[in-house]
């Protein structure tokens, strides 16, 4: 796989583009937000994406998937990013789905993934407990009790938690917060006794939630990966989810860039188009460079996963470090160059600004990933 889209991927991109243009312009996301929609995305549209095979891109054919890779998923996520579609790729596919795919045995995969692929099952992953991303800062406890585990603790920033059918919960079976060892992953049903899910609305209009778990019982057969070594699964899930998030971010900041470029060509002040001002020309030319460099690095990270290279973690952190650096730069300049109108809720550029901030801070910001990259590179 090279750094440019293949013929098949170009066809997929055109399909996805016309699908989202027709069925999911940015206004749809705004309507869902403003109407305080109970779900927060469209279940019907999600099922349509299931029929098109997009939800199952990563999953094996045996569970109804297409068995393709991040190159293909990235194309679809990029188009989602361009229209800010809030459908649950992150919660259900990249986080929850990947946890089942990478950590679940065959019976668990057979039980859960077919409905995921068709769009009839929503999953999510509950890992975060504090604000800044810190993958092993987990205090929620799971204790063994015969053939099952009992989980007690609190989780925050659980995406789409209020509509998830199952929540994969990362909890500590040994050790203390901050340690990589001693983590385990459990599949918890949404209706499990002792589990309370509170919906939260996020700044980008998406669904967050926080959980209270009080002696929630989980069957020992519903553990993903190995007890105490859940971080092996978790790390792999985070890398893949991060690369998926980067693909979506590229779509969003490309769209924000294009809209801003168009604005510079049409908006007039002092009797001339504002794009004639060198102060703005130089800045947008530089943004173009930042955007293209980042796109190359993200594509390389997708290739690293799809080809099973041994530098997936490194390529992932390179991609997210760049995305999280460039996203606020482009989004911030986009609002600035739109001037006063950019501050209004009516102008859509602000929606891109907010979504990109959420994505920037999710799964590790630029500082986190630069440090991780440096560590992996031996300094």
Partner 1 sequence: MSTANLEEFRQEIRTWIDENLPSELRVGTRKDLPKKLLSQWNKALISRGLVAPEWDTEYGGGGLDRKQAGIVKEELNAVRAPKLRTFGVAMLGPTLLEFGTEEQKREFLPQIARNEVTWCQGYSEPGAGSDLASLQTRAVREGDEYIVTGQKIWTTGADKADWIFCLVRTEPDAPKHEGISFLLFPMKQEGVKVSPLNLIDGSADFSQVFFDGARAKASHLVGPLNGGWTIAKRLLQHERTQDGGSEGGITGAMKDTIFDLVKREVGLDARGTLQDPTIRERLAQQELEQLGLRLTMRRAGEEMRASQTGRDIASLGKYRWANMVKDEQDIAMMAMGAQGLGWSGDGFGADQLERTRAWLTTRADSIWGGTNEVQLNVIAKRVLKIPE
Positions touching partner 1 (CB under 8 A) are 2-5, 261, 264-265, 273, 275-276, 278, 281-282, 284-286, 288-289, 292-294, 296-297, 299-300, 318, 321-322, 367, 370-371, 373-375, 377-379
**For 160, how many CA atoms within 13 A lie in the half-sphere containing its CB?**
27
Q: Kindly list the distances between the CA atom of residue 164 and the CA atoms of 145, 230, 242, 369, in Å, as whole numbers in the listed order.
A: 26, 21, 20, 29
Q: Which is nearer to partner 1, 237 or 323 (CB)?
A: 323
Q: How far is the CB of 152 from partner 1 (least distance, A)?
A: 33
Residue with tokens 């693909």: 247
Q: Which is nearer to partner 1, 188 or 318 (CB)?
A: 318
Q: How far is the CB of 317 from partner 1 (least distance, A)?
A: 9
Q: How far is the CB of 374 from partner 1 (least distance, A)?
A: 4
Q: Kindly list the distances between the CA atom of residue 276 and the CA atoms of 169, 243, 281, 290, in Å, as whole numbers in the listed order.
A: 54, 37, 7, 21
Q: Which is nearer to partner 1, 270 or 379 (CB)?
A: 379
Q: How far is the CB of 269 from partner 1 (least distance, A)?
A: 15
Q: Which is nearer to partner 1, 220 or 288 (CB)?
A: 288
Q: Which is nearer to partner 1, 70 or 89 (CB)?
A: 70
Q: How far is the CB of 278 from partner 1 (least distance, A)?
A: 7
Q: Which is nearer to partner 1, 3 or 174 (CB)?
A: 3
Q: How far is the CB of 134 from partner 1 (least distance, A)?
A: 16
Q: Which is nearer to partner 1, 3 or 11 (CB)?
A: 3
Q: How far is the CB of 12 from partner 1 (least distance, A)?
A: 15
Q: Kindly list the distances between the CA atom of residue 145 and the CA atoms of 149, 182, 195, 216, in Å, as whole numbers in the listed order.
A: 5, 17, 18, 11
């Amino acid at each position: 796989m090279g750094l440019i889209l293949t013929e098949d991927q170009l066809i997929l991109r055109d399909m996805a583009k016309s699908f989202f243009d027709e069925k999911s312009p940015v206004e749809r996301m705004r309507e869902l937000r403003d109407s305080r929609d109970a779900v927060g995305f469209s279940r019907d549209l999600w099922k349509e994406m299931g029929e098109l095979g997009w939800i199952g891109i990563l999953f094996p054919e045996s569970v109804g998937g297409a068995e393709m890779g991040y190159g293909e998923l990235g194309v679809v996520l990029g188009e989602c990013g361009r229209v800010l579609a809030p459908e649950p790729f992150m919660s259900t596919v990249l986080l929850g789905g990947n946890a089942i795919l990478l950590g679940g045995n065959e019976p668990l995969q057979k039980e859960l993934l077919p409905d995921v692929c068709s769009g009839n099952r929503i999953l999510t992953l509950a890992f975060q407990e504090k604000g800044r991303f810190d993958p092993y800062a987990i205090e929620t406890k799971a204790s063994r009790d015969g053939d099952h585990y009992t989980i007690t603790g609190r989780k925050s920033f659980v995406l789409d938690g209020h509509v998830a059918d199952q929540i994969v919960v990362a909890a500590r079976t040994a050790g203390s917060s901050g340690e990589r060892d001693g983590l385990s992953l459990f599949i918890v049903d949404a209706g499990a006794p002792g589990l309370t899910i509170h919906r939260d609305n996020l700044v980008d209009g998406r669904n967050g939630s926080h959980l209270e778990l009080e002696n929630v019982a989980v069957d020992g057969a519903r553990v993903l990966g190995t007890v105490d070594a859940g971080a092996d699964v978790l790390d792999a899930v985070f890398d893949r989810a991060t690369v998926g998030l980067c693909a979506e971010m590229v779509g969003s900041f490309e769209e924000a860039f294009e809209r801003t470029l168009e604005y510079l060509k049409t908006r007039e002040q002092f009797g001339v188009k504002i794009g004639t001002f060198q102060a703005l020309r130089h800045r947008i030319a530089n943004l173009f460079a930042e955007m293209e460099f980042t796109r190359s690095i993200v594509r390389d990270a997708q290739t690293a996963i799809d080809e099973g290279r041994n530098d997936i973690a490194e390529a992932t952190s390179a991609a997210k470090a760049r995305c999280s650096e460039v996203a606020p730069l482009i989004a911030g300049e986009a609002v600035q160059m739109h001037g006063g109108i950019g501050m209004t809720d009516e102008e859509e550029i602000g929606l891109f600004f907010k979504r990109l901030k959420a994505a920037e801070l999710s799964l590790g910001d630029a500082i986190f990933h630069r440090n991780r990259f440096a560590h992996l590179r031996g300094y």
